[in-house]
Structure 1
């Protein structure tokens, strides 16, 4: 062996050779690698652009004969397949000693393939994608991808000069999965899948399961493994103690890339927890952090569902941020977008040359509002891709909650479609039964696998049972955004005070349905963009009145049944609409700015609202129970006054009174419980500390004949507690 060189090996069948070299062969391992033949062990290697290839056994070189096209082969007189490597020489004279990828058994198990076929692989990211590993004693990366309609799939990357010829993958049967273990490919390698469609078209696709990507506009996937060591065990244990709907939940919504432009995940891990803690919010909610090519989509046009955006750092950097927030006692909710995906030709769209993640019916595939594709939720593998994705973020990144975007667009077959553009379901109705089943499965799976998390639906219709458990026919969400309350209350506030009496019901109607679901009251990014104006700029009147209305509204909101969400910049009454290009107008808080005290006053109010809210169980403990609320005055339309009581589980009350007219109301009479000897102001949005006129009730107020008499400050909300 080694002296005369290997004997000639029978050439490949021309059809097999053509399919192999063109990237259209389903089983390259049957043609390449080593196998017993008459006369010994045959070796065949595919090394494009190589000058020579030798098989090295026990230090001995055994040159293979060139078959042309980058193929090299020969037969050695051996009884069994030995341990061997390849020595590949190129024209410039350099030599590379490499392991042969085609001598390895599949690095993906039968159970994985069975679960993928069934659509039940709840840790799909551990089976598909790029996984650094040691396989049969050799370190490298296993690549696997679901592409059931492809003729062939190859791996291309910076380790192959982006030529996939050398690395065709094998099809693992009816699963539709293609697999290849590449020795020597390690973390940091960039790659894509080169797919040959059934029609013979060839194109490069980013990995749908990539856990790390290049920084946009570059689009390659990156091999990665996590090395982050979590330090949030105390937080994770504590979050399971109280159901979310019975706990305080005050959310600060953040667009990470623009909150403090230029900061990385690790820099944000220093500044964001400190700021959120100072203002007293219990949670942050990140607008989508999943990878997206167009920054102007704010993350809602996702191409990398398993990768945090590389704009701000690596996946471990993002974990570092979540960890830091948890150690500061702050929960992390992230926006999750399973309703649609963009049509970029390097991403999910027509992934293997056919509709795959999107429905084959063009009427169902196109999302009419956003120029995107919808997911084919009736396909088990697609549903599995999304369910596992929800689990992935909660399990691997310790995310505490998923706010699910655009649920209404998923639930209705006719959403934004005219007649003739949609087909009724099997019952003749407009409900998308596949979407319902998907949402139920997603919620049930997440809650089962990751205790203490919450899922939150952005659902803008009156769909029945969004937050009802799945075992009773509900969708299974923990909370739902109360879009009706948001729309009605902002509509009321936009009116001049003199006209508000004609719209009084817009502030009270929410209590008609307040207990039909578990609600979040959202003043989100959607309300302060696209010409809708910032929260303070929606208010009528001069600057003083606008700020007063802003403060009074926040006081009303924090006292109303439901959890709170406020988008960044609104906590200090930013006057301009939000722009992702520069983020909040922090300069408004600069002491050198004349109006800074006005903005700091609103910020001070938000801090105190959160502090008192968290200390007052009456404001959150019975959010979903009618017995936790009682109107004191709900029909004082002429006065623009609202008053109601909140009760905790022990019956302890808090009285909230809002006066949405710009006049002081003296000796205003309100009925209160008989068993409270006195009431004291706990919070007054008209306080001078908040920029108000400081009309207050400084002394305890004692009831007479079941009533108290208060001085109501103008355009203000007061909270009164027993004492």
Structure 2
């Protein structure tokens, strides 16, 4: 990257000894015959280039101190220089207007009769000189930043350009002497919409090309009349850096020698109407910190240390494994921490609580922090607010080394309208649907992707696997799936059009989700995809080869809504809403479920989890603990948002994050909050150690009601079974009174009795410590359709777990 032009004095020292420039003869890449080349014989000649043969290297060194640089000789002094043909007026105008599709046909070096024509476009330059082995040729100033001349050499050499400005001089490679740096297979796959590693073909890729270090820039912009690269390396003036079109694929390409990591750039796009728009790179792997919007050239250097995790993460299918998720908004978990600082604190905290996974709210770059990352502009770039892409890799690596999986929220449902990002990217609807009724998202003021366009679908499918492969992400929770599946989502009659079969299903979105899931699972063993889908769409977690969408898990929004509605009722009224706690078992095995208490449930006036509960402070905390015990025992995996693990009373705010001060021992009520956090740790510990709680989550044989109808008592009792038939008895009591001698039917399991292994009313958690201290003997007293039963004490507002001794 050339951040500043070097001083003229300093740069002349090397340029004045051209024999020291390491060059070689290279073949001219094939190109279409330009108008100027075909007209060389009859074109009106421009004034001749100034050409001088350089002295041999050894002689030049010996004369450097007293002789100075060799003086250029004028044309006609025996060097055989030919005048350069005039540039075709149409080409000249299109280059200056930024709408030339083939600048390499005009700029750079081209063999012509009697020599090699070299033309450069360097706005604001005073002179441009060609440096090659044995030749130093000052090009003629053709005006408007164009410089040209004919070298008296038989074929195109490897050469450099010395560009002199009023205040300094630089020596650079000519970008227009290089072949395309992207292969035909890449272009074919892009055109077919089947490039599963799209990030390796499009965007800014630092590389060595034809023996020269630089960066290849590629962009998909099929409607553009022309594209130029603008950046800090050319003072944000892209006039001299037009890209070439690579045919019907709509891909534009330019290799810029000398531009490397850290360079800032954007694309200056000439729209179909001739106007210009400057856009960030849709494939940028790194961006400036918002509100700045430039893309940054980057490369990965992180050396992964999670080989053991990656090798074994898929040993057990996720629906048959423990899966307890801590949801985190990285920017506010500990405000001000970077990715690397988070790596020092987050893994230890999560591991201490016993969660198996973290779920990160969107980390892809987004301009507005208040969107929490759900309005993405940089789909391939981790947000730069917390560090570099390698810093984010470091955090994921640290979590893996602590034995914690990483789920990431992924947002393919919509994107914002920012005029420097994806909206009408090249002057027409490109990423969004061309039908305005299908392009605009009615709820969020954003745009919806055109899932039926192969290149757009490829952009998203490749993005899903990009995060899994480049950042070792273990799962994608796909946001707002319902909004993609239905054409009439949040739309009134007349605001949507049916599909080809007259239905309201978005068939393009269905095909996209199936392709995404199939591709992610095929390429990334052990990864899980999770749908946030709030309707009764059939087959969300059914395999794609059976007609399903192919997700591994689905958020159980029905369970969340019903159970929270029940818990918000005063205990005296709960008997009238008992079915809200039991209805989930009617459909519990229709999909593979996650039970989510997510960020969405603790913001925007919905209150924090503990604050949703009725009663005084003690009762609220007791309800909170009892609810968590019920949730961890219920079939399905579980997810809990940060702050709820210690009963934070305030809603979450991305501005300040969790109220960690509640855990400070100097705070009078800190014990109440630390008790709840201790409970969450114990729930996870017992959960992980007892296969009955997770091994048969998706099998009806793993669950049996003991008493699901005790509405008058506000009691729910059920059994969970592991693959060997070993049971766990879970009893939730949502009344504030103590019930003694409460009888429940149980399986016959021998003579040792049932042992209480977890009680949310324990004093350890801040409860009243009403316990069942001794094993409960099964008696030959029939109850609940079973020949044996136990008599137990139910603590107030508590969940109790038992196992056979």
SS in 1 for 2:84: coil
Aligned to 2:190: 116
In 2, Cα distance between the equivalents of 1:469 and 1:344? 37
Q: Does 1:4 align with 2:71?
A: no
Residue of structure 2 aligned with 1:655, choices 729, 748, 760:
729
Aligned to 2:291: 217
Give the C-alpha shift of residue 722 in structure 1: 1.1
In 2, Cα distance between the equivalents of 1:452 and 1:396? 15
Q: Does 1:325 align with 2:383?
A: no
Q: Does 1:692 align with 2:767?
A: yes
In 1, Cα distance between the equivalents of 2:255 and 2:121? 15
In 2, Cα distance between the equivalents of 1:135 and 1:385? 25
In 2, Cα distance between the equivalents of 1:642 and 1:690? 21
Residue of structure 2 aligned with 1:247, choices 299, 318, 321:
321
SS in 2 for 1:372: coil
Aligned to 2:24: none
Give the C-alpha shift of residue 474 in structure 1: 0.1
Residue-by-residue CA offset, 1:446-478 (whole Å, 9 max, x unaligned): 000010000000000000000000000000000
In 2, Cα distance between the equivalents of 1:624 and 1:164? 57
Q: Does 1:75 align with 2:150?
A: yes
Aligned to 1:587: 661
Give the C-alpha shift of residue 8 in structure 1: 2.2
Residue of structure 1 aligned with 2:378, choices 304, 319, 334:
304
In 1, Cα distance between the equivalents of 2:204 and 2:584? 49
In 1, Cα distance between the equivalents of 2:476 and 2:158? 49
- Structure 1 segment 432-443 matched on structure 2, within 5 A: 432-443=506-517
In 2, Cα distance between the equivalents of 1:631 and 1:117? 55
- Tell me if the contact between 1:413 and 1:432 (Cα under 8 Å) persists in the aligned partners: yes
Residue of structure 2 aligned with 1:165, choices 211, 216, 239:
239
Residue-by-residue CA offset, 1:210-260 (whole Å, 9 max, x unaligned): 000000000000000000000000001111100000000000000000000
Contiguous gaps of at least 5 residues in structure 1:
none
Moved more, 199-208 or 671-680: 671-680
Q: Does 1:40 align with 2:122?
A: no
Moved more, 7-16 or 678-687: 7-16
Aligned to 2:96: 21
Aligned to 1:227: 301
Residue-by-residue CA offset, 1:584-628 (whole Å, 9 max, x unaligned): 000000000000000000000000000000001000000000000
The structure 1 segments of at least 4 consecutive aligned residues displaced by more than 6 Å after TM superposition are none
- Tell me if the contact between 1:8 and 1:65 (Cα under 8 Å) persists in the aligned partners: no
- Tell me if the contact between 2:749 and 2:804 (Cα under 8 Å) persists in the aligned partners: no
When Rg is computed on C-alpha atoms for both structures, the one with the higher figure is 2
In 2, Cα distance between the equivalents of 1:206 and 1:117? 22
In 1, Cα distance between the equivalents of 2:388 and 2:139? 43
- Structure 1 segment 167-316 matched on structure 2, within 5 A: 167-316=241-390
SS in 2 for 1:67: strand
Give the C-alpha shift of residue 16 in structure 1: 1.2
Aligned to 2:693: 619
SS in 2 for 1:148: coil
Aligned to 1:345: 419
Q: Does 1:125 align with 2:199?
A: yes
In 2, Cα distance between the equivalents of 1:267 and 1:7? 64
Aligned to 1:575: 649
- Tell me if the contact between 1:643 and 1:655 (Cα under 8 Å) persists in the aligned partners: yes
In 2, Cα distance between the equivalents of 1:433 and 1:493? 38
In 2, Cα distance between the equivalents of 1:203 and 1:420? 34
- Structure 1 segment 297-696 matched on structure 2, within 5 A: 297-677=371-751, 678-696=753-771
Give the C-alpha shift of residue 144 in structure 1: 0.3
Aligned to 2:12: none
- Tell me if the contact between 1:248 and 1:613 (Cα under 8 Å) persists in the aligned partners: yes
Give the C-alpha shift of residue 302 in structure 1: 0.2
SS in 2 for 1:509: helix
Residue-by-residue CA offset, 1:315-346 (whole Å, 9 max, x unaligned): 00000000000000000000000000000000
Alignment: residue pair count = 722
In 1, Cα distance between the equivalents of 2:548 and 2:125? 61
In 1, Cα distance between the equivalents of 2:715 and 2:132? 90
Give the C-alpha shift of residue 492 in structure 1: 0.3
Aligned to 2:785: none
Contiguous gaps of at least 5 residues in structure 2:
1-50, 53-72, 76-80, 781-787
Residue of structure 1 aligned with 2:228, choices 133, 146, 154:
154
In 2, Cα distance between the equivalents of 1:490 and 1:91? 72
In 2, Cα distance between the equivalents of 1:59 and 1:191? 36
In 2, Cα distance between the equivalents of 1:67 and 1:22? 17
In 2, Cα distance between the equivalents of 1:585 and 1:634? 37
In 2, Cα distance between the equivalents of 1:506 and 1:609? 23
- Tell me if the contact between 1:194 and 1:205 (Cα under 8 Å) persists in the aligned partners: yes
Aligned to 2:139: 64
Q: Does 1:90 align with 2:165?
A: yes
Aligned to 1:713: 795
- Tell me if the contact between 1:8 and 1:73 (Cα under 8 Å) persists in the aligned partners: no
In 1, Cα distance between the equivalents of 2:724 and 2:556? 27
SS in 2 for 1:359: coil
Q: CA RMSD in A?
A: 0.6
TM-score normalized by structure 2? Answer: 0.89
In 2, Cα distance between the equivalents of 1:253 and 1:59? 66
